[in-house]
């Protein structure tokens, strides 16, 4: 585990813990408020994120930003990251070994940010954070509590681009998040 952002940055800039380093342009560590109550975890950088080094800046990210604005949640107030920090070729799902190699970075990020709520965007985030036995179809829209953090799994924004009807669920799930944020 890393105790400071400095340590994470020093290590990750030369990271070769899995084969994803071979094709990366930029490492996408995360973005946002490092003291946020709310954290989003996606799957991994796509082409736009790999180019810019910032998470969720492509089409899926723009859709997510719109939803956040609609709910009155500002993107900059949250901390946004992914399961893997380097782009999987062709945007394939990260392999279990790749996710595991990157997990120390994610755990350290969670420990440093200390969010109250984590939104898990899609199956990859859900399975690698809460357990491989979970599925997004069965788990989305439900609260899970683990080690003092509330987890809300929901659809990955890219799924909303493929299936418009999922936008309603996504909106409902984020409303639950908003309500919980306001509880405190």
- Binding residues for ligand URA, rule: CB under 6 A, are 42-46, 49, 55-56, 58, 60-61, 82, 158
Nearer to ligand URA, 45 or 115 (CB): 45
Min dist CB 42 to ligand URA, Å, is: 3
Min dist CB 161 to ligand URA, Å, is: 10
Rg (CA), the chain: 15
Nearer to ligand URA, 58 or 153 (CB): 58
Min dist CB 3 to ligand URA, Å, is: 25
Nearer to ligand URA, 2 or 56 (CB): 56
> Which long-range contacts does 59-64 make (Cβ < 8 Å, 24+ apart)?
59/158, 59/161, 60/156, 60/157, 60/158, 60/160, 60/161, 61/157, 63/157, 63/160, 63/161, 64/40, 64/121, 64/157
Min dist CB 83 to ligand URA, Å, is: 8
CB 161: neighbour CB atoms within 10 A? 14
Nearer to ligand URA, 68 or 182 (CB): 68
C-alpha to C-alpha distance for 101 and 51, rounded to whole angstroms: 22
Query: Closest residue to ligand URA, Cβ-based?
Result: 42
- Starting at the earlier edge strand, list the strands of the sheet with 38-42: 31-32, 79-82, 38-42, 117-121, 149-154, 144-146
Min dist CB 64 to ligand URA, Å, is: 9
Of 145, 129, 78, the C-alpha closest to 69 is 78
Residue 76 CB contacts under 8 Å (≥ 6 apart), including other chains = 32, 33
Nearer to ligand URA, 8 or 84 (CB): 84
């Amino acid at each position: 585990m890393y105790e400071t952002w400095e340590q994470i940055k020093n290590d990750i800039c030369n990271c070769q813990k899995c084969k994803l380093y071979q094709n990366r342009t930029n490492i996408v560590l995360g973005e946002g408020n490092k003291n946020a109550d709310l954290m989003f975890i996606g799957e991994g950088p796509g082409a736009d994120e790999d180019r810019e080094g910032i998470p969720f800046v492509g089409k899926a990210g723009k859709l997510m930003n719109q939803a956040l604005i609609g709910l009155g949640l500002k993107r900059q107030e949250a901390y946004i990251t992914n399961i893997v920090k380097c782009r999987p070729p062709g945007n394939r799902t990260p392999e279990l070994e790749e996710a595991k190699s990157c997990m120390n970075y994610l755990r350290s990020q969670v420990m440093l940010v200390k969010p109250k709520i984590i939104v898990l965007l899609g199956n990859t985030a859900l399975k690698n954070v809460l357990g491989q036995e979970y599925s997004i179809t069965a788990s989305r829209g439900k609260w899970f509590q683990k080690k003092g953090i509330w987890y809300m799994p929901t659809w990955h924004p890219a799924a909303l681009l493929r299936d418009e009807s999922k936008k309603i669920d996504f909106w409902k799930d984020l409303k639950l998040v908003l309500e919980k944020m306001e509880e405190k």
